[in-house]
Amino acid sequence: MFDFVKKGQIVEGKVYQVKPNEILVALENAATEGKIYAEYYDNPAPADLTKVVKVGDVIRAKVTSASEGDDSFQILLSRLPLLNEEKINDIEKIYQDKKEIETVVKSSNDKGLILEYLGFELFLPYTLLDFELKDKKDELIGKKLTVLIEEFKADKRRPKMIATRKPIYEALRQKQNEERHQARQSELENIHTGDVLEGTVDSFESHAAFIKFNHISGMLRISQVSHHRIDKIEDVLAKGQKVTVKVIKKEGNRLDLSMKALQPTPYEAYLAEHRIGDTVKGKVVSKLPFGVLIELAQDVKGLLHKNEYSWNPKANMDAYIKIGDEMEVVILSKDLKKEKIALSKKAIEHNPWAGLTLRHGEIIEVRVEGVTKDGVNVSYESVDGFIPNNEAHNDPKVNIADHYQVGDVVKAIVTEFNRDNWVLKLSVRRLLENLERQEFEKYLGNESEQESVTLGDLFEDLKNKK
């Protein structure tokens, strides 16, 4: 006896005929077979039912229409309501088990993304979306996105669901943080004091730059950038610039770096190019009680001691030199360790006294260069000499200023000669007295003349010869 099925009834039967767009199902105890069209078999509808269904398959479906004609009875079936319930049950279980699902982004609005999963929509608020993905929301449309179901409200037709990515990206960030920490520790363990590394300028502080390596950073203080003074570190370094640095200190997770440790000091660079005996130029930058400091190059100074200024020991260096003067000097000595350079100006000048040899009492010819109240300034072979006023003549009545004229050549006796101290003193008086004595002795030596000539006559004769 056949039963008459009713609309909404759930039935079961075997497939006995399959066509590309429909299948016929033999229903148990039914008056006729049921028919399922492709669009009611699944969503989306299969393009060809023959490829997904075969004769003999058992199918459960819901009666959507049962109508009786003149000579037939037609039953239309649909699997979609049952599939829909199965999907809802599956989604609810996924929600309860807190499993991740792969959805497709359908659209976006001002509050969040609209997702699709198994034909159902989910809403993903921006507050539960990765921060970096929020800025790319328009690029996400049509792409797959893995989420968790945060809220689920059952409904036979269309459940309400809220999705979230917060646990996913938090777990991802946690994993990334752990990996970064492990990578940093591994890199740090392989860095030691004294290592030379290449890094990139990552950021700045007021008096330092941070240099990024693979996973860690080190601090490069402004004082370690150059041997020369730097007022602002950004003036010599730029963000993203590649630099080579030396690790000068490692303490815990902190690295202190230096660029200048890999550079020659100003003294090293200068002295590598200049030897003892080289003539160099510099500028006077400071006066000291015992000499002056001359800047030979940036941050390189040498000392010109007052004893090395001139061959003339009487020369007043302080009176002749002022700050800013440029000078040509010779390197006398250098001490790289103490960063000291000794200089000499007189070494490049001629010393007129060097080859001069005079004996006390020697008679020489000198040229008058000038007359002062103290005496007569003279010259002898490019050196200066002096005849004191009381040694300029043996007659005190003679006016020295009238007696000597500039350019006169006179003979004098050397009374003092010191080559090291540039001292040459002379006497005309002693020369004249010697000449008088010689004349006197000459007269005394003539016995015949002694008898007829008186001593007064001799002195009168000498005066007339002057």
DSSP assignment of 78-109, as one string? ESHHHHHHHHHHHHHHHHHHT--EEEEEEEE-
| % residues pLDDT > 70 (the chain) | 92
Work out the number of other CB atoms within 10 angstroms of the CB of residue 171: 10
Q: How far apart are CA 70 and CA 406, in angstroms?
A: 162
Average pLDDT of the chain? Answer: 88
Stretch 148-158: mean pLDDT: 83
Higher per-residue confidence, 449 vs 322:
322
Q: How far apart are CA 276 and CA 296, in angstroms?
A: 14
Helix (H) or strand (E) holding 61: strand 58-68
Most confident of 109-123, 302-316, 436-450: 109-123
Lowest mean pLDDT among 98-112, 205-219, 267-281, 312-326: 312-326
Instruction: Output phi, psi for 265, to 5 deg.
Output: -65, 160
- Predicted confidence at residue 333, as pLDDT, reads 93
- Predicted confidence at residue 122, as pLDDT, reads 93
User: Which residue from 10, 78, 74, 82 is spatially nearest to 41, judged by alpha carbons?
Assistant: 78
- Predicted confidence at residue 209, as pLDDT, reads 94
Burial class (CB in 10 A: 0-12, 13-18, 19+), 359: exposed
- Predicted confidence at residue 355, as pLDDT, reads 83
Spatial CB neighbours of 165, under 8 Å, sequence gap ≥ 6: 124, 128, 129, 130, 133, 145, 146, 147, 148
Task: Note the maximum CA span of the chain.
Answer: 205
Task: Label residue 247 by pLDDT band (50, 70, 90).
Answer: very high
Task: Label residue 159 by pLDDT band (50, 70, 90).
Answer: confident
Higher per-residue confidence, 201 vs 1:
201
The answer, yes or no, to whether residue 114 has pLDDT greater than 90, is yes
Q: How far apart are CA 284 and CA 439, in angstroms?
A: 60
- Predicted confidence at residue 420, as pLDDT, reads 83
Lowest mean pLDDT among 31-35, 64-68, 98-102, 457-461: 457-461
List, for residues 372-415, the tens digit of each pLDDT value: 999 999 999 888 999 999 999 888 888 998 899 999 999 999 99
Domains for the chain: give ranges and CATH numbers: 9-80 (2.40.50.140), 191-262 (2.40.50.140), 269-348 (2.40.50.140), 362-446 (2.40.50.140)
Q: How far apart are CA 171 and CA 166, in angstroms?
A: 8
- Predicted confidence at residue 445, as pLDDT, reads 67
Q: What is the pTM of this model?
A: 0.53
The answer, yes or no, to whether residue 69 has pLDDT greater than 90, is no
Q: Is 231 left (phi over 0), alpha (psi -120 to 50) or beta?
A: alpha
Stretch 91-95: mean pLDDT: 90
> Do the beta carbons of residue 435 and residue 417 sit within 8 Å?
no
The answer, yes or no, to whether residue 90 has pLDDT greater than 50, is yes
Stretch 436-459: mean pLDDT: 63
402 CA to centre of own chain: 76
188 CA to centre of own chain: 21
Instruction: Output phi, psi for 239, to 5 deg.
Output: -60, 130
> Do the beta carbons of residue 248 and residue 224 sit within 8 Å?
yes
Tokens of 7: 């609309």
Q: How far apart are CA 369 and CA 292, in angstroms?
A: 32
Q: How far apart are CA 105 and CA 128, in angstroms?
A: 15
Instruction: Convert 293-306 to b/e letters by CB count within 10 Å (16 or more is b).
Output: bbebeebbbbbbbb
Q: How far apart are CA 126 and CA 115, in angstroms?
A: 13
| DSSP-H helix ranges across 243-336 | 266-273, 317-320
Instruction: Output phi, psi for 223, to 5 deg.
Output: -70, -15
Lowest mean pLDDT among 25-34, 90-99, 192-201: 25-34
The answer, yes or no, to whether residue 452 has pLDDT greater than 60, is no
Helix (H) or strand (E) holding 377: strand 375-380
Tokens of 260: 């200048």
Residues facing 329 on adjacent strands: 280
The answer, yes or no, to whether residue 83 has pLDDT greater than 80, is yes
Collapsing DSSP states into helix, strand and coil, what is residue 168? Answer: helix
Q: How far apart are CA 204 and CA 343, in angstroms?
A: 42
Instruction: Say if strands 144-153 and 101-108 run parallel, antiparallel, or are unpaired.
Output: antiparallel
Lowest mean pLDDT among 68-72, 78-82, 243-247: 68-72
Instruction: Convert 318-352 to b/e letters by CB count within 10 Å (16 or more is b).
Output: eeebeeeeebebbbbebeeeebebbbbbbeeeeeb
Spatial CB neighbours of 172, under 8 Å, sequence gap ≥ 6: none
Higher per-residue confidence, 440 vs 54:
54
Q: At what angle do helices 455-465 and 428-444 cross, to 10 degrees?
A: 140
| DSSP-H helix ranges across 135-288 | 137-140, 166-189, 266-273
User: Which residue from 46, 47, 84, 44 is spatially nearest to 62, judged by alpha carbons?
Assistant: 84
> Do the beta carbons of residue 168 and residue 148 sit within 8 Å?
yes
The answer, yes or no, to whether residue 31 has pLDDT greater than 90, is no
Q: How far apart are CA 183 and CA 108, in angstroms?
A: 38
Stretch 45-74: mean pLDDT: 85
Work out the number of other CB atoms within 10 angstroms of the CB of residue 413: 21
- Predicted confidence at residue 1, as pLDDT, reads 42
